[in-house]
Amino acid sequence: MDILSQIDSQKVPKHVAVIMDGNGRWAKLRGKPRVFGHKNGVKSVREVIDAAGNAGVKTLTLYAFSTENWKRPKAEVKTLMALLLTSLKKEAKELNKNNIKLQIIGNQESLPKSVLKGLNKVIELTKNNDALTLTIALSYGSREEIVNAIKNISKKIVNNQLSIEEIDENIINNHLYTFTLPDVDLMIRTSGEKRISNFLLWQIAYAELHFTDVLWPDFTKNDFYNALLEYQNRERRFGKTGEQIETTNEI
């Protein structure tokens, strides 16, 4: 039986986030420069988008470039930016045909204007699609996102648009870059590292974490399906007891 058919369509995570890691090591193992790994990583991006669609995942968020990644060698940053832009432009029609909505999260001010302009065209083209929301985290850092949210909330308080008493989890949620997205149910990290690396810290409060040794350029649809299967076999309790969960049948 293939892996996809083993997935229970009633228990598919609504939001899957992926830390795509190991491109550099994958290239090094082959005696190639790091960017060779990034180029081969694009194929795995296509695989997970397809796999998410096939499995009925409605929200997929990929960590493509962190605020810390700006510290990498200039040539690598330049290649990564170009790769992101060309891949997403090349895939624009396909994304649209598959009813996929593209959006980006992160500090947009630090992105090269040409990259932002190109991405905005794809975002505009796909904005009314609703089969899958594909969010690319670009120049993203969770702490920066939280700082930005606090600044915007503070401005509203100073302008009397909001009172301190009104601040609750919903208000904070609504000021994050991810305000339109549900909480993350499943976070996947490839390459054997077991860290969160400043990705969606607020949003993963109750997420299941899946770590695999597979390096990102080797990651396939089946690896994604296996992560979903493992997720379905875990009991999510949200602080309740196992017995309480059995009676409410919550996932």
Residues with catalytic annotation? 21, 69
Q: Is 23 in the site for ligand FPP (CB under 6 A)?
A: yes
Number of residues that bind ligand FPP (CB under 6 A): 22
Lookup: tokens for 214? 């597979």
What CA–CA distance (Å, rounded) separates 223 from 157? 46
Q: b/e string for 99-108 if b means 16 or more Cβ within 10 A?
A: ebbbbbbbbe
Q: Is 106 in the site for ligand FPP (CB under 6 A)?
A: no
**In the range 181-200, which residues lie near ligand FPP by CB under 6 A?**
191
Is 89 within 8 Å of 45 (Cβ atoms)?
no
Q: Is 64 in the site for ligand FPP (CB under 6 A)?
A: yes
> What is the separation of C-alpha 189 from the centre of its chain, rounded to a whole number of angstroms?
11
Q: Binding string, 212-231, against ligand FPP, x = CB under 6 A?
A: ----x---------------
Residue bearing tokens 């990705």: 199
Q: Which is nearer to ligand FPP, 38 or 175 (CB)?
A: 38
Query: Which of 42, 122, 187, 214 is the binder for ligand FPP (CB under 6 A)?
Result: 42
The window from 1-9, 38-46, 124-132, 229-237 that contacts ligand FPP (CB under 6 A) reads 38-46
What is the CB neighbour count within 10 angstroms for residue 123? 17
Strand pairing class (132-140; 59-66): parallel
Name the residues that contact ligand FPP, by CB under 6 A. 20-25, 34, 38, 41-42, 45, 62, 64, 69, 80, 83-84, 87-88, 136, 191, 216
